Amino acid sequence: MSEIKKYDVCIIGGGITGTALGYFLCKLGKTSVAIFEKSYLSSGSTGRCAGGIRQQWSTRPNVRLAMRSVKLFERFKDDVGMDIEYRQGGYLVLSYNEQEAEQFERNVKMQREEGLNVEILTPKQVSEKYPYINTEGIIMATFCQTDGHANPHKAVIGYAQAIRKMGGDIYTHTEVKNVDVKNGRVTGIETSAGYFACDVVINASGPWSREVSRLFGVDLPTESYRHQILVTEPLENFFPMMAISFSGNFYMRQTQHGQFILGQGDKDEKPGINHNVTYKFEKELASKMVRIFPFLRDIRIIRHWSGMYNMSPDAQPIIGQSEKVKGYYYAVGYSGHGFMVAPAVGEALAETIVFGKALHTDISYLDLTRFEKMQIEKEKNVV
Amino acid sequence: MRRLKEHPILSVSTDSLQLVFYFEGTQVCGTPNDTIASALIANGIDVFGFTEHNHPRGFFCAIGKCSACLVEVDGVPNVRACITPIREGMNVKMQSGRGKPKW
Amino acid sequence: MVRHIKALIVGSGPAGLTGAIAIAETLGGGKDVIIVDEGIEPGGQLPKQTHKFFGHEGFYASVRGFEIGNLLVKKVKSLGVEIIQQATVTGIYEDVITVYDRVNNIVNEYLADYLLIATGATEKFLAFKNNTLPGVYGAGAVQTLMNQYKVLPGQSFLIIGAGNIGLIVAYQLVQAGAVVKAIVEASSKVGGYAVHANKIKRLGVPILLKHTILEAIGSDKVRGAVVAEVDDAFRPIVGTEKEFVVDSICLAVGLQPNVELVAQTGAKLVYMPELGGHIPWRDENMRTTVQNVFVAGDLSGIEEATTAMIEGYIAGYNIAQEITGKSQEEKIQKMKDELSEFRRGPFSKKVRDGLKKLNIYFPAGGYREELQNNYGPKGKLRAVIECPQPIPCNPCETSCPTGAINVGGNINGIPHIDYEKCIGCGVCVTKCPGLAIFMVQENENYSIVGIPYELLPIPSKGDKVKLLDREGKYVADGEIDHVIPNNKGKTHIVYLKVPKGLEENVRSFSYFKKPEAFVCRCEELTREEIERTIDMGITDYEELRRVLRIGMGPCGGKTCRNLTLQILAEKTGSTISDIELGAYRPPTIPTPFEAVVKSVGERMERLEGKSDE
């Protein structure tokens, strides 16, 4: 009888979440780890995202998660061994709505209690600091210098290389077709590269989180929505921060290579995997952004693509272990904010798997059971 | 870039290019140690003028002896570019053939 | 107003400066001596010379030219001698001597009791097609720009002439970061010192003997040159033409003394090709046919800076002797003896022959001519001297702390090393002006060869390099074993790790050239970088794109996608049709936001909170 290859942990999904998990598991000594990615690494949401890293969240636990993540991003080059172009250019959050502005004031108070250095700016102050922004309609803004951005592709590759170095395996172009559950326990997975026995399987499949979860017989309340995004030709660097607005529905930053990445949400978008793009999106976004950032007039768009947000009912990730199927963990539903919290989540969930509990950041509030218990504190700061 | 940024033997000073003069109407920057010739060459300008038979000429000996580098400075013709230090605002023009006195 | 001085020295090069020192020292001060020089700074040719001078310690051997200039000028000024720069002695008239002050645009009048004319020499010109094209420069001109103004007038050079000047300027060009494609020499042998030629040869610069330049190519600037072989009569041989792609051509075809001024004194000129052309007749005290006119330096015959300095002293002491009436014979004789010793070697033959015609005799020979035929005990770290010609130079001897090196009593002698005394310290390597001394040690598994190094960047231990032989030809791959830096003298010793047995051949190295075959123009990514990234395990086109940014620039991958797929196919052993093609996204050409905004027409999305107008 041929040997069945066994791993302690199998991870479904080779994006930032999957590779971060793989990395931290290996670091904690659990090197019998394999990641299964049905296409190439970062082919899902991670490879299409804007790379923003924000700590200005509206709920305390989310702020803590993000702050831990930032600590890990700061050490990424030294720990993981790859320069991911991490820059703390800051996040300028613009509010166009009175109600939102009041909420921001409360948020800032809470964020400062958590130790985050956040400034509140009047429209005049925004204008003085950033003379290229048209501040018409802005009620107020908040700014946190330690927010920033990085290159998500390099982060995935960085984690992947470190995993391989530490003895973990990564299978790309390998699809997980089935999951073996016996007596309410995970025992193995069937993939296009063969069968693997394992005790733990983590669902880190991003946009496909719901379908993959069904392989375990567990339903996750996640839905994937398309979000479109543009990039411009490169220019001299002068725009250091991510400019974002929830009420205004946009975000924009300038990459290290001088290109502007920008996008907005579409409330008319229907759920489902869709990687096409619409010109309608370009018209809407262009009109809006040219008014707020007049310098964009003569700048050229060179590429327009889309990626999926894996949304959860309260726009916060769903992380934890299934009660129904022992050994089945999930880290999904990031609702467009997977990259920024991935290191902290990877660390916390890996610690939970290895030690039984997270040592640095609490992620228990993100468990699936919150929906049943109706403990929903909706995260408001999302685009 | 023709100005040396480093040298294994000589020290290369960080003299800022603070002197501005004009060659054929275009701004050229130089250091207080430059001659017209060294500033022009440093800025990639190799043709200082033309001979009577329309052959382009630059410089040859760099020490004021051969008369290849003649230019017109502030209206004065036949100036040897290689031994004339630059001055702020100097107006240097190519000399084609023989110079013309100004009156 | 006429200014009357006792001694007027024309030229602030080495001869003029030592002349001034001799006179001022003897007179007890410099108030009766003036130097007039037309350059922008004093020192003549010295400020442009970055190489170490030959000779012996007493005349600044192993000191770099520009430093010698500084030392002499300092000495002259400390004696109270006035040096007037940017002024030319334009005429020796019947009534006065005129000096044109360029700075103030005024002619000043002088009268002098004694003249020491040290006006040096100028580059000879060469006639070939298009030789007036900008980009054809005298070697001295290139030196001036490069070493005084720190401006490199071109990127790639062809040098015409393999005398000392051509060889030295070629080396200085490499030091400044230029490429020297070749040195072209019409005669059948190198005219300059072998050590100067060796320095440039082992850097990979070829010396083409029996070749001449036919043409400078270009319309407004040099873009190339045509060179051809010549026969024994110096005629170009048809069919041997070669084209070089260069942007500068440097003429180093000899110097001619600047006799215009001395001729005006009425001093007799004689034609002496051995000494560079027409020179002023003079006696062994450097006095011309005019009783109060003396000459020194290259004006009196093309030679070296060291002889210029000595002649300056001889002329100066003679003038001082006449002004004071006090004999300076001892000092003058001492200098004549120095000159005598200096001129014994083969390179001074021309000068000796020329001076013979003036009835001035200098002895030849009297120095060691045999090369050392043993290179010391294998396994011991020791110096190896590759100085094959008798030249007047002995810093190796005087700098050796254990006295292991000697030149045999006369500074023209070939240096020999006593290997019992050699402790392998390497000081001689850093002092030798010809960069002709190397360190060698044969070890168990490999050998090390230490070479004198005066280029940038200074290599680091472990750097992988190509090992080259004395002709600059590739011998083997190697690496830098260690570097002994010399931040004061700037001659560092780079020790190369050399495969055993090759320590007798390896005398140079070069870095592997970074291949710059670009695949992605927008991000300037080379084929090599892409291949390296694929080797790291990034084998998907999309992954490659994300890591290297291929195709993320303004061209959207139009230039690079196919090439990248080809490289991927080659490296992974698959066919292009098997490789997953990356996604194609709009817009196909960069589109300005304004154009998109205009397609919206009047309806523009309002920001939240603002009412429609």
Both tokens of B54, joined, read 């329309």
Residue C193 has pLDDT above 90, yes or no: yes
Residue C426's φ and ψ, nearest 5 degrees, are 85, 0
- Give the three-class secondary structure for C323: helix
Compute the nearest-CA separation of B2 from chain C (Å).
5
How many domains is chain B built from? 1
pLDDT at C602: 55
Per-residue 3-state assignment (H helix, E strand, C coil) for A47-91: HHCCCEECCCCCCHHHHHHHHHHHHHHHCHHHHHCCCCCCECCCE
**Burial of C537: CB neighbours in 10 Å, binned 0-12, 13-18, 19+:** middle
Both tokens of C300, joined, read 């009196």
Nearest residue of A to residue C599, measured between CA atoms = A283
Count of B-C CB contacts under 8 Å: 105
Cβ neighbour number for residue C268 with a 10 Å cutoff? 12
What own/partner pairs with CB < 8 Å and gap ≥ 24 does A103-106 have? A103/A58, A103/A380, A104/A140, A104/A142
Q: What is the CATH number of domain A5-48+153-222+314-373?
A: 3.50.50.60
Q: Do A288 and C537 count as a contact with CB atoms less than 8 A apart?
A: no
- Give the three-class secondary structure for C75: helix
Parent domain of B45: 19-96
Of C40, C153, C490, the CB nearest to B83: C40
Both tokens of A367, joined, read 């468990």
Both tokens of C525, joined, read 């990514």
- Look at residue B77 and tell me if it is in a domain: yes
- Look at residue C132 and tell me if it is in a domain: yes
Contact (CB, 8 A) for C218 and C135 = yes
- Look at residue B60 and tell me if it is in a domain: yes
Q: What is the CATH number of domain A88-147+226-309?
A: 3.30.9.10
Looking at the fold, whether C222 and C116 belong to one and the same domain comes out as no
DSSP secondary structure of A215-263:
TTT-----EEEEEEEEEE--------SEEEETTTTEEEEE-TTS-EEEE
| Cβ-Cβ contacts under 8 Å, C261 against chain B | none
Whether the link from the prior residue into C587 is cis, omega within 30° of 0, is: yes
pLDDT at A267: 87
Integer Cα distance of C512 and C466 in angstroms: 6
Q: What is the mean pLDDT of each run of 10 residues along chain B (103 residues)?
A: 88 80 94 93 94 86 85 88 93 86 57
Nearest residue of A to residue C611, measured between CA atoms = A137
pLDDT tens across C351-373, in order? 999 999 999 999 999 999 999 98
Looking at the fold, whether C261 and C112 belong to one and the same domain comes out as yes
Q: Given CB atoms, is C601 within the 8 Å cutoff of chain A?
A: no
Task: Name the band, by pLDDT with cuts 50, 70 and 90, for residue C609.
Answer: very low
- Look at residue B79 and tell me if it is in a domain: yes
Compute the nearest-CA separation of A344 from chain C (Å).
23
Compute the nearest-CA separation of C90 from chain B (Å).
13
Contact (CB, 8 A) for C165 and C148 = no
- Look at residue B10 and tell me if it is in a domain: no
Looking at the fold, whether C387 and C484 belong to one and the same domain comes out as yes
- Look at residue B1 and tell me if it is in a domain: no
Residue C74 has pLDDT above 60, yes or no: yes
Of C537, C591, C608, the CB nearest to A301: C591
Q: Which residue has the tokens 């309609």?
A: A137
Task: Name the band, by pLDDT with cuts 50, 70 and 90, for residue A377.
Answer: low
For chain C, percent helix, then strand, then coil, each to nearest 5?
30, 25, 45
Compute the nearest-CA separation of A317 from chain C (Å).
25
Nearest residue of C to residue B33, measured between CA atoms = C149
All CATH 3.30.9.10 domain ranges of chain A, comma separated, are 88-147+226-309
Q: What pTM was estimated for this model as a whole? A: 0.69
Parent domain of C52: 2-122+256-356
All CATH 3.50.50.60 domain ranges of chain A, comma separated, are 5-48+153-222+314-373
Mean pLDDT of chain C: 92
Task: Name the band, by pLDDT with cuts 50, 70 and 90, for residue C121.
Answer: very high
Contact (CB, 8 A) for A65 and A158 = no
Q: Given CB atoms, is B42 within the 8 Å cutoff of chain C?
A: yes
Domain boundary among C196, C220, C253: C253
Compute the nearest-CA separation of A110 from chain C (Å).
26
Looking at the fold, whether C151 and C182 belong to one and the same domain comes out as yes
Task: Name the band, by pLDDT with cuts 50, 70 and 90, for residue C520.
Answer: confident
Cβ neighbour number for residue A4 with a 10 Å cutoff? 10
Nearest residue of C to residue A172, measured between CA atoms = C540
Both tokens of A98, joined, read 């009175």
Of C542, C556, C609, the CB nearest to A302: C556
What own/partner pairs with CB < 8 Å and gap ≥ 24 does C522-528 have? C522/C552, C522/C553, C522/C554, C522/C555, C522/C559, C522/C560, C523/A257, C523/C548, C523/C549, C523/C550, C523/C552, C523/C553, C525/C549, C525/C550, C525/C560, C527/C563, C527/C567
| Cβ-Cβ contacts under 8 Å, B60 against chain C | 132, 136-138, 141
| Cβ-Cβ contacts under 8 Å, A232 against chain C | 590
| Cβ-Cβ contacts under 8 Å, B66 against chain C | 125, 138
How many domains is chain C built from? 4
Q: Given CB atoms, is A47 within the 8 Å cutoff of chain C?
A: yes
DSSP secondary structure of C130-178:
TTTSTTEEEHHHHHIIIIIS-B---SEEEEE--SHHHHHHHHHHHHTT-
Integer Cα distance of C474 and C481 in angstroms: 18
Of A137, A282, A305, the CB nearest to C609: A137
Looking at the fold, whether C505 and C387 belong to one and the same domain comes out as yes
Nearest residue of C to residue B41, measured between CA atoms = C153
Residue A92's φ and ψ, nearest 5 degrees, are -105, 110
Residue C604 has pLDDT above 90, yes or no: no
Nearest residue of C to residue B42, measured between CA atoms = C151
Domain boundary among C231, C253, C275: C253
Q: Given CB atoms, is C316 within the 8 Å cutoff of chain B?
A: no
pLDDT at C608: 45
Of B12, B55, B63, the CB nearest to C39: B63
